[in-house]
Structure 1
Amino acid sequence: MRSRSSHRRTSHTASRTAPRRRTAAVALAGVASLIAAAVQTGTATAAPAQAPKAAPGSESVRLSPAERAELLRGADARAAETARDLGLGAKEKLVVRDVLKDRDGTLHTRYERTYDGLPVLGGDLVVETSKSGATEGVVKATRAAVKPATTKAALPAADAERQALNAAKAEKAQSPDVDRAPRKVIWAADGKPVLAYETVVGGLQHDGTPQELHVVTDATTGEKLYEWEAVETGTGHTVYSGTVPLTTTQSGSAYNLTDGARGGHKTYNLNRGTSGTGTLFSGPDDVWGNGSPSNLESAAADAHYGAALTWDYYKNVHGRSGIRGDGRAAYSRVHYGNNYVNAFWSDSCFCMTYGDGSGNANPLTSIDVAAHEMTHGLTSNTAGLVYSGESGGLNEATSDIFGATVEFYANNSSDAGDYLIGEKINIRGDGTPLRYMDKPSRDGSSKDAWYSGIGSIDVHYSSGPANHFFYLLSEGSGTKTINGVTYNSPTSDGLPVTGIGRAKAEKIWFRALTTKFTSTTNYAGARTGTLAAAGELYGTTSAEYKAVQDAWAGVNVGARSGGGGGGGTSFENTADVSIPDNGAAVTSSITVSGRTGNAPAGLQVAVDIVHTWRGDLVIDLLAPDGTAYRLKNFSSSDSADNVNQTFTVDASSEVANGTWSLRVQDQAAQDTGHINSWKLIFP
């Protein structure tokens, strides 16, 4: 829920090959040759500026565990053929991880990748196939060809382990159930794939949260390449939700907190301990707790209830049966530690764990926190967003988003739905929420909008732009009162956003998470993924699709739809201008007329550039008198595709009327692109 581990910042990217909708007879060969060419050159086809047109209603259907298992078996049987069709090398193999099926028969199959028998971290991909079996699109976590220079390590494994222990500030074998000796992997999430060691170190973080720190070390040079934390932080008389029905199991004359209707979910009592499973809650009657935190059953009732609500939400709203989609439940542990002010999800135990807060008086078991932690498990078993950098912020935001939607779904009068996170648990001690989705900066640390360095801050604060996006998409900007809570949501460009309703917004985010996002998706990739999801659900000319564009622009990710919105005046140039590879600067011009006086302090510059490595680009706005305003600097680590972003410029010293130009220069070799369009927006 609130881990503060520091991480080395690494850019993340998710490349999507442009979908090809052809007849079944030629589709596989066409896509195979397309991707084979990309693999040979170490590049991939750039993501389209907009999602492909698709018939609305491409929503995933609910699969029974048996149906899902059958699809997984089929995908596994075809894995070798799929790898060949995608043009992967002879040493590369695909391992099926998940599968979703749309109403029209389209399948979205998620794969992990191996190279010469070694796991490829950051090599995951999602393949979209039509009912006829034709491959229609591929979303890849990396666009680089997986061809490491060697698979023979020059660095002893013991050196990698020492490095990991130093990073974790832990002692060896501190957590034997978590610690994993260095294993050889191919690290492909950051530039050119290389042979590396992955070491997992257990122990405790500074606040008592269990640790599962993954450290990746170059197996040739010994350089630490990356690290991330895998512990993601998150009739019953409950503490927060009043008296609620609980599904339990009777065994002889006793009852226990086992939910046989929801995959066998169990709730255990750690009784202030910090290890093991704990003791299953049981008793002589089927009444649990008294509403007071001093009664250990009260928090257990909250956790059991929250898990049931989250299970029902994902099953009834999104058609997913359990975290893995296999009908099996995780389990819950309450009363972790003494005065432990946190909650977390752990892949190792496949469980949610809750502390009791300061003075053991405020257990972290409210509906939104329970849904937040369980959603970390969902993310881990779908997109697998790495818990660091921009992907880590999106991981946290996903848990906040569905924490809020589950709370609305619960329709519980004691804990009404809202866009506040952790408002019941009083984690700050002053009665304020932990986070605010309408204006994230209200918590003092979270960010309202994207900026170039956001991947270097704590993931709980870099989640702000995505939380803000979801609020804007659901409810729109401005002032609004919902269930007695008043919100006032601004936008980064000062222009209004019209919401489409939470029911549609949650469908878009879920579809993007499960069919478009990969382990390395960043904010630009999230925009691309949610636009693709909106296009498939509602059509690319729909109000919903345009609202996704506008909501992202409202948090400084990409350009607005249409003419800029909000009644402002916009001037646009849609002519393509090629950007030479590592060559001279090019310009695209716009003539502004009909304005009086100077340009505004909040001049908006909406840039849409298609490029296969945007870090190569330097972008300037040139005023009519030739003054240059730097919009984007060169960055060798910014490996994402495309520039879809609205910049704000203080141009108040410039005369508004005249010829303005966008100047773009590619300052490194191998990647190409073009200016697709750009726009000046005068609020």
Structure 2
Amino acid sequence: MSTFSPAGSRARRLALTSGAVVLTGGLLAVGATTASAGSAPVHEGGPVAVTAQSLGLGAKEKLVVKDVIRDADGTVHTRYDRTYAGLPVLGGDLIVHQAADGAVKNVTKAVRAAIEVDSLTPKLTPAAAESAAVRTARAAKTSGAATGEAPRKVVWAASGKPVLAYETVVTGTRQDGVTPSLLRVVTDADTGKKLYENQLIDDIAAGVASATAGKSAGSAAGKPGRPQAGAVGTGVSQYSGTVSLNTATSSKGYDLVDNERGGSSTVDLQHRTGGKGVLFTDADNAWGNGTPADNQTAAVDAAYGAAQTWDFYKNVLHRNGIKNDGRAPVSKVHYGNAYQNAFWDDRSFTITYGDGANNQHPLTQLDVAGHEFSHGVTSATAGLQYSGESGGLNEATSDIFGTAVEWNANNSQDPGDYLLGEKIDIFGNGKPLRYQDRPSKDGRGSADYWSAGVGNLDVHYSSGVANHFFYLLSEGSGAKDINGVHYDSPTVDGSTVTGIGRDKAVQIWYKALSAYFTSTTDYHGAREGSLKAAADLYGAGSAEVKAVDAAWAAVNVKA
């Protein structure tokens, strides 16, 4: 879970709908008819091909296509996951960049080491790895730590020399007693040493006090069958005023389901911390009253946020949903009791919102919705690991796109700004969760600039470096008033940065995420990837490329 955290027409994203495509020692052709659901083909003309040998693969290695993107000039970026002797290679992902004629221009790899292990026979038993992972979760104050699946044998390559390992996912509840935990633990299959751990639930806030659940985890009624016809209702939200909502007719009147946006649905968890929830229904298609006293109000904000986020990705970044397959996640509201957080769960494909302090400030503000949705996009593209510097980039990506969603919505009741969660009052003092112009203004340890130890911070605080970069690239340094908010953004060396505008900054970040970032990208890798993205979009040596370089230097990320 993460806290709530354009290549525009120049590049179209692609989700392979015909199943995995595997590259071995022969040729892989990305054909002209491969396209995402509901979109025009993005790779047209003759097929292009690469050889495994040209990528430096060994005889035991195979690549599985995860994603493909095609630029306006015909360049194709194909993202692969890697296997070794049939085992997933964690940290083995790579991107092949090919010219329009099929020639390989270069390859971006998550790790440079050759993938090879001495033996595929582990000395450690799966049961021992499972026990070790559970102990790790308990040490992290996870209550009810348990494993629902047997450990998976993998090759761990993300930290240097590849080793045979077990990957175990431990479920439970975090130290606050209410936030769910999906702790991923990687254990050396020979020594039993813990190699890596990270949280698979991406939440929007770190270290914010959360109340306990009002009801024990339980099962609630699930979503009914697919409604047959669409309608347009009216919702009175808490944060965005009166809004239109796409709904679907059903035997109960109207369901809060948006079939024009991938079947996006909104359900009521009824203050439980488990179960599927109950789909919101209404007799007259008029939803909420703008106050938390009405159970539907939070659902209005969540549904509106989901719609605005979908439209931003569709219209600005030309992406058809999180996985570019036309499918929308489920939004869940009223999680627990007075729960002050929101989170994304990639496994269940859901966004979950608490109701905030005293159940009066649901975390359903527009930029929070955009933040959580964007965690799914990051997972479907770069797959940035949720720890260290890559974790900070993961969080910042959600903040950046959450901010962009808010600006793109152009809602007078929640105007665009560079403040994250300014309306949810998560600290009880009216201050926002994060500041992009000067992240350290949160007073909680967010970093304004890169340093050698920034990756040791919680990902919600190490994200400050990229958030600050994005603000500087968009608006420039110094004091200014934008849309009624005062900002004063410094640089590490006192330099002056001139912004290129938010629209271009968003396009560059998305292109970098989708075409150049990998699971292990750190801040210096992000600099390199965003410079390439800017060159792709606006030309080598362009003012935009120079601005990207200057903005990174201003946050102490230099060549």
TM-score normalized by structure 2?
A: 0.87
SS of the equivalent of 1:505 reads helix
* Residue of structure 2 equivalent to 1:23: none
Percent of pairs identical after alignment? 59
Q: Does 1:554 align with 2:554?
A: yes
1:58 deviates by 9.6
* Residue of structure 2 equivalent to 1:500: 500
> Structure 1 counterpart of 2:430, which letter?
G
> Structure 2 counterpart of 1:83, which letter?
A
Q: Is the 8 A contact 1:271 1:278 kept in 2?
A: yes
> Structure 2 counterpart of 1:514, which letter?
S
> What does residue range 81-230 of structure 1 map to in structure 2 within 5 Å?
82-169=51-138, 174=144, 179-207=148-176, 208-230=178-200
1:155 deviates by 0.9
Question: Separation in 2 of the partners of 1:57 and 1:242?
Answer: 32
CA separation of 1:82/1:209 partners in 2, compared to 1, >3 Å: closer, same or farther? farther
Question: Separation in 2 of the partners of 1:108 and 1:59?
Answer: 16
CA separation of 1:373/1:143 partners in 2, compared to 1, >3 Å: closer, same or farther? same
* Residue of structure 1 equivalent to 2:202: 232
* Residue of structure 1 equivalent to 2:522: 522
Partner deviation per Cα, 1:180-218 (whole Å, 9 max, x = no partner): 321110000001000001110011112221111000110
SS of the equivalent of 2:339 reads coil
Q: Does 1:490 align with 2:487?
A: no
Partner deviation per Cα, 1:499-539 (whole Å, 9 max, x = no partner): 00001000000000000000000000000000000011111
* Residue of structure 1 equivalent to 2:325: 326
1:63 deviates by 5.7
> Structure 1 counterpart of 2:134, which letter?
L
Q: Is the 8 A contact 1:394 1:523 kept in 2?
A: yes
Q: Is the 8 A contact 1:59 1:537 kept in 2?
A: no
CA separation of 1:131/1:75 partners in 2, compared to 1, >3 Å: closer, same or farther? farther
Q: Is the 8 A contact 2:7 2:511 kept in 1?
A: no
* Residue of structure 2 equivalent to 1:69: 17
1:62 deviates by 3.7
CA separation of 1:107/1:231 partners in 2, compared to 1, >3 Å: closer, same or farther? same
Question: Separation in 2 of the partners of 1:74 and 1:87?
Answer: 16
> Structure 2 counterpart of 1:359, which letter?
N
CA separation of 1:318/1:82 partners in 2, compared to 1, >3 Å: closer, same or farther? farther
CA separation of 1:135/1:187 partners in 2, compared to 1, >3 Å: closer, same or farther? same
1:73 deviates by 5.8
Question: Separation in 1 of the partners of 2:527 and 2:61?
Answer: 30
CA separation of 1:394/1:197 partners in 2, compared to 1, >3 Å: closer, same or farther? same
Q: Is the 8 A contact 1:58 1:104 kept in 2?
A: no
Question: Separation in 2 of the partners of 1:473 and 1:184?
Answer: 43
1:348 deviates by 1.4
Question: Separation in 2 of the partners of 1:63 and 1:387?
Answer: 23
Q: Is the 8 A contact 1:71 1:99 kept in 2?
A: no
Q: Is the 8 A contact 2:142 2:173 kept in 1?
A: no
CA separation of 1:318/1:172 partners in 2, compared to 1, >3 Å: closer, same or farther? closer
> Structure 2 counterpart of 1:334, which letter?
V
Q: Does 1:462 align with 2:462?
A: yes
1:105 deviates by 2.4
CA separation of 1:390/1:476 partners in 2, compared to 1, >3 Å: closer, same or farther? same
* Residue of structure 1 equivalent to 2:377: 378
> Structure 2 counterpart of 1:243, which letter?
T
* Residue of structure 1 equivalent to 2:223: none
Question: Separation in 2 of the partners of 1:520 and 1:422?
Answer: 28
Q: Is the 8 A contact 1:342 1:357 kept in 2?
A: yes
Question: Separation in 2 of the partners of 1:377 and 1:127?
Answer: 23
> Structure 1 counterpart of 2:137, which letter?
A
Q: Is the 8 A contact 2:383 2:519 kept in 1?
A: yes
Unaligned runs of 5+ in 1: 4-55, 559-643, 645-683
Q: Is the 8 A contact 1:60 1:318 kept in 2?
A: no
Partner deviation per Cα, 1:446-472 (whole Å, 9 max, x = no partner): 010000001111000000010000000
> What does residue range 370-409 of structure 1 map to in structure 2 within 5 Å?
370-409=369-408
SS of the equivalent of 1:232 reads strand
SS of the equivalent of 1:451 reads coil
Q: Is the 8 A contact 2:163 2:188 kept in 1?
A: yes
Q: Is the 8 A contact 2:8 2:316 kept in 1?
A: no
1:130 deviates by 2.3
Q: Is the 8 A contact 1:64 1:321 kept in 2?
A: no
1:83 deviates by 2.8
Partner deviation per Cα, 1:56-89 (whole Å, 9 max, x = no partner): 9896434687xx5369769898289643431311
1:341 deviates by 0.7
* Residue of structure 2 equivalent to 1:21: none
1:149 deviates by 1.6
CA separation of 1:185/1:57 partners in 2, compared to 1, >3 Å: closer, same or farther? closer
> What does residue range 254-273 of structure 1 map to in structure 2 within 5 Å?
254-273=253-272
* Residue of structure 2 equivalent to 1:278: 277
Question: Separation in 2 of the partners of 1:162 and 1:84?
Answer: 40
Q: Is the 8 A contact 1:182 1:200 kept in 2?
A: yes
* Residue of structure 1 equivalent to 2:215: none
Partner deviation per Cα, 1:274-329 (whole Å, 9 max, x = no partner): 11221111111111111011211100010111011111001111110000011111
> Structure 2 counterpart of 1:467, which letter?
N
Partner deviation per Cα, 1:597-630 (whole Å, 9 max, x = no partner): xxxxxxxxxxxxxxxxxxxxxxxxxxxxxxxxxx
CA separation of 1:70/1:162 partners in 2, compared to 1, >3 Å: closer, same or farther? closer
> Structure 2 counterpart of 1:468, which letter?
H
Q: Is the 8 A contact 1:233 1:342 kept in 2?
A: yes
More deviation, 126-135/539-548: 126-135
Question: Separation in 2 of the partners of 1:439 and 1:314?
Answer: 26
Question: Separation in 2 of the partners of 1:284 and 1:276?
Answer: 25
> Structure 2 counterpart of 1:374, which letter?
F
> Structure 1 counterpart of 2:326, which letter?
G
Question: Separation in 2 of the partners of 1:442 and 1:57?
Answer: 32
Q: Does 1:302 align with 2:271?
A: no
Q: Is the 8 A contact 2:109 2:518 kept in 1?
A: yes
Partner deviation per Cα, 1:524-565 (whole Å, 9 max, x = no partner): 00000000000111112111100001100100000xxxxxxx
> Structure 2 counterpart of 1:88, which letter?
L
SS of the equivalent of 1:474 reads helix
SS of the equivalent of 2:108 reads strand
* Residue of structure 2 equivalent to 1:441: 440
Question: Separation in 2 of the partners of 1:133 and 1:331?
Answer: 39
SS of the equivalent of 1:228 reads strand
Question: Separation in 2 of the partners of 1:106 and 1:70?
Answer: 22
For the pair shown, the structure with the greater C-alpha radius of gyration is 1
1:356 deviates by 0.5
Q: Is the 8 A contact 2:342 2:363 kept in 1?
A: yes
Question: Separation in 1 of the partners of 2:20 and 2:121?
Answer: 33
Q: Is the 8 A contact 2:23 2:62 kept in 1?
A: no
Question: Separation in 1 of the partners of 2:515 and 2:168?
Answer: 29
* Residue of structure 2 equivalent to 1:425: 424
State the Cα RMSD in Å. Answer: 2.2
* Residue of structure 2 equivalent to 1:358: 357
CA separation of 1:92/1:72 partners in 2, compared to 1, >3 Å: closer, same or farther? closer
